[in-house]
């Protein structure tokens, strides 16, 4: 009915790009934050300004990763070195943490201004999953996960949430490490082999594969079906509702 193996009894969903359209919001916020830094660097060095690509750079370097890891990854790709700073750095361009905090400030402003929408196909799938009585968790690197779930009106669909706040509190490594997914499965009382992972990010699909979960569904929102399979997706769909076709 749900397009999953019979052995699966728990479903672990990424948030941005799988359940909600906040992947677009994050991409825009990353672009604004990084472009400020890249333009400043180009002006200071007298070099050509090459902007952050909200598709290819987002997918490759920041999507699915904890915020500061995303900053480190992208800056490394451009051979830009900044001091680490600390989490209480003011939003800005002077450190890795300052850039990450600037991105977070921008994304919160965008969410407050425009709100958050859940994908229609994801809502159909969540309704079917809830009707089937399977355990459900959200696993997100975002520290704003609970606020987004509430804004989108879908918080009540899930038995537990493992987000950036939980990961920091419990010392869980972020995606592509499988730790946060494994924690969600543990809370739901199922082994990894009995859980399915739903991810649109390459780092998240890699985490599902490396954690030896029973099934990994890649959600292709950005034309990267091949890459999702290469990172370990057992099946790739354009929308979660596509899994219901087999019902």
Q: Please write the tens of the pLDDT for every residue from 165-224.
A: 999 999 999 999 999 999 999 999 999 999 999 999 999 999 999 999 999 999 999 889
pLDDT of residue 246: 52
Give the chain's domains with CATH numbers: 10-21+117-246 (3.40.50.1000), 24-114 (no CATH)
Q: Supply 231's token pair.
A: 């990172």
Catalytic member of 6, 16, 114, 163: 16
Catalytic member of 14, 57, 89, 179: 14
pLDDT of residue 128: 96
Is residue 16 annotated as a catalytic residue, yes or no? yes
Nearest alpha carbon to residue 87 among 107, 67, 70: 67
Mean pLDDT of 10-15: 97
Task: Report the residue count for the chain.
Answer: 247
Mean pLDDT of 88-106: 96
What are the angstrom distances between the C-alpha of 103 and each of 61, 70, 93, 152? 14, 11, 10, 21
The DSSP secondary structure of 105-157, one letter per residue, reads: HHHHHHHHHH---B-HHHHHHHHHHHHHT-EEEEE-S-TTHHHHHHHHT-GGG
Q: Is 174 helix (H, G, I), strand (E, B) or coil?
A: coil
The secondary structure of residue 245, as a DSSP letter, is G
pLDDT of residue 247: 42
Is residue 210 annotated as a catalytic residue, yes or no? no
């Amino acid at each position: 009915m749900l397009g999953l193996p019979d052995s699966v009894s728990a479903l672990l969903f990424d948030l941005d790009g799988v359940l909600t359209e906040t992947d677009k919001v994050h991409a825009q916020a990353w672009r604004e934050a990084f472009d400020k830094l890249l333009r400043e660097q180009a002006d200071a060095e007298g070099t050509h300004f090459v902007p952050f690509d909200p598709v290819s750079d987002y997918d490759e370097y920041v999507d699915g990763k904890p915020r500061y890891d995303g900053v480190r990854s992208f800056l490394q790709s451009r051979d830009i070195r900044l001091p680490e700073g600390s989490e209480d750095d003011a939003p800005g361009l002077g450190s890795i943490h300052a850039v990450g905090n600037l991105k977070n400030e921008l994304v919160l402003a965008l969410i407050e201004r425009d709100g958050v929408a859940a994908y229609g196909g994801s809502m159909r799938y969540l309704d079917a999953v809830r009707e089937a009585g399977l355990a459900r968790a959200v696993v997100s690197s975002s520290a704003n996960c609970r606020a987004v779930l509430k804004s989108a009106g879908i918080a009540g669909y899930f038995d537990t949430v493992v987000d950036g706040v939980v990961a920091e509190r419990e010392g869980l490594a972020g995606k592509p490490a499988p730790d946060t997914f494994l924690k969600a499965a543990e809370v739901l009382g199922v082994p990894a082999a009995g859980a399915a992972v739903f991810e649109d990010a390459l780092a998240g699909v890699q985490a599902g594969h490396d954690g030896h979960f029973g099934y990994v569904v890649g959600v292709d929102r950005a034309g990267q079906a091949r890459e999702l399979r290469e990172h370990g997706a057992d099946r790739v769909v354009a929308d979660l509702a596509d899994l219901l076709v087999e019902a």
